[in-house]
Amino acid sequence: MDQVTVDDRPLSLEEFLAVVDGAQVRLGDAARARIAAGRALVDEALASGAPVYGLTTEVGHGKDRRVRREDVERQQRMLIATHGGAFGPPLPREVVRAAMVVRLNGMARGGSGAGLAAAETLVSMLVAGVHPVLPGTGSVGAADIAHMAGIAQVAVGSGTAEYGGETLPGGEALRRAGIPPLHPEGKDGLALISSNGVSVGHGAIVTAGAARIADAVDEAAALSLEATGGNPSIVLPAVGRAKPYPGQIAAATHLLDLLEGSRLLDAAGPRSVQDALSFRVVPQVHGALREFLGITRRAVEIELNAASDNPLADVGSGTLISNGNFHPMVMAVSFDALRVALAHAGQLSERRMSHLWDAVMALLERGAPPPSMGPASLPGVQLRYAASASFTALRQLAAPATLDSTVLDRGVEDHATGAVLAVRKTEEALGLLADILAIEVLLAVDLLDLSSAGRLDPPAGLGRGAARVAGLAHEAVAGAASAADVHRGLRELFPS
């Protein structure tokens, strides 16, 4: 899609990702009306002098100290200037854009109390490609304040931004893009920095990538079933009906589709009445991965379209309400749980490789010739130990990120979600699992090739889906100079 309108309806994950990828974005009329209504509540609170956190009071442990009316604008600028405490390598551009879209869509819900000018500045920066440079380490997952302050700094003409391929002072980037700097008023400063933009935005990107891994785990397992002559009874519909988890049924259905046309589905196909558990419980384990992928996606979509500001400008009641909606707890825990499911899928893959290895070694001991004697010969066999190392790293990443918060700001901020870390660890876990699956595919193809006297075409009798995956492996092998080259080539093709 070429343009996305941020309005009063929920923004879909697909629309969100389109803007992250560079689609134009505009603010709809209904969103403008909501933003104006929220800002009207802020103006009323300022006129009344009522105590409102971060507006007529200070923030953090200064929550009960009042701010004079004439100092409100200065405080909003001060919040932006003093909360950008992050360091380390900068976040990728797509994550920065994602954070900006999350904040823009949150403002469109009307709960932020920010003015229309703040939202329009974010729109202009996204359209023009003014991307703040945000150091990667700075959030504990209770609003990504340090990162979002970096975005706000550029919006007001300070900070650092990338524009037109150059890294520039924020004010210069805005000038070249023809965007006037924002003059924060009312609650603009707090609204811009108090958001889970990076957590939710990066989470949406990771969730979209994770959807591909759900199919890839099935594809690797199906090819291993083919290579070992496994028993496909595990994917029969009756099994799913007996324990009707939607994820398990989806995994079994996909596996059955991959095996369509396979000799294993013939009455005499399987070699045994049942296989080792790393084969037999594939639908259950892969089904769990699909279930937690669904939970995580739902949590991301809710956070993306939530009014997560504190205080919340609630137009319905006409009040500004102190609250904890800046805590993306369900999303953070769901990413922790998802990594456990990823680790179990990786464990099954690694265990299946032991069976593939045993079968390969047995054939070699009987004198089966390898397809070639070059440095890329039997790449799965060569990479078996690398797969084991990758699984060890994957297992370590399964440890929760959400339980290790510290006490901050004189005891007022005594809990955090670790959402940024939970998402980042999940992205790393997805990469490791994809590495492991690629090696399983290569090892299964090694076994199939040895079994068919070194033929480079997939053996007859493979299911159509499994044959396609084997074909990707052979494509990666062709012309490769080493096992590492084969792995790199396959990772460019798989997961597809």
Angle between helix axes 282-304 and 329-365 (nearest 10 degrees) is 150
Q: Nearest-CA neighbor of 86 among 137, 144, 151?
A: 137
Residue 3's alpha-carbon distances to 21, 28, 433, 457, in angstroms, are 11, 12, 34, 45
Domains and CATH numbers, the chain: 3-195 (1.10.275.10), 202-493 (1.20.200.10)
Buried b (16+ CB within 10 A) or exposed e, 353-377: bebbbebbeebeeeebebbeeeebb
Give the global pTM: 0.95
CA atoms within 13 A on the CB side of 465: 20
Please tell me the predicted confidence (pLDDT) of residue 459.
56
Please tell me the predicted confidence (pLDDT) of residue 69.
83
Encoded tokens for 312: 């919340």
Residue 2's alpha-carbon distances to 21, 131, 133, in angstroms, are 10, 19, 25
pLDDT digit string (tens) for the chain, length 496 residues: 899 999 989 999 999 999 999 999 999 999 999 999 999 999 999 999 889 898 888 898 988 898 888 888 899 999 999 999 999 999 999 999 999 999 999 999 999 999 999 999 999 999 999 999 999 999 999 999 999 999 999 999 999 999 999 999 999 999 999 999 999 999 999 999 999 999 999 999 999 989 999 999 999 999 999 999 999 999 999 999 999 999 999 999 999 999 999 999 987 778 888 999 999 999 999 999 999 999 999 999 999 999 999 999 999 999 999 999 999 999 999 999 999 999 999 999 999 999 999 999 999 999 888 777 789 999 999 999 999 999 999 999 999 999 989 999 888 889 999 999 999 999 999 999 999 999 999 999 999 999 886 444 445 689 999 999 999 999 999 989 999 999 999 999 999 7
141 C-beta neighbours (distance < 10 Å), count: 26
The residues that bridge with 66 in the sheet, in sequence order, are 57
Residue appearing with tokens 């953070």: 332
Q: How far apart are CA 100 and CA 184, in angstroms?
A: 17
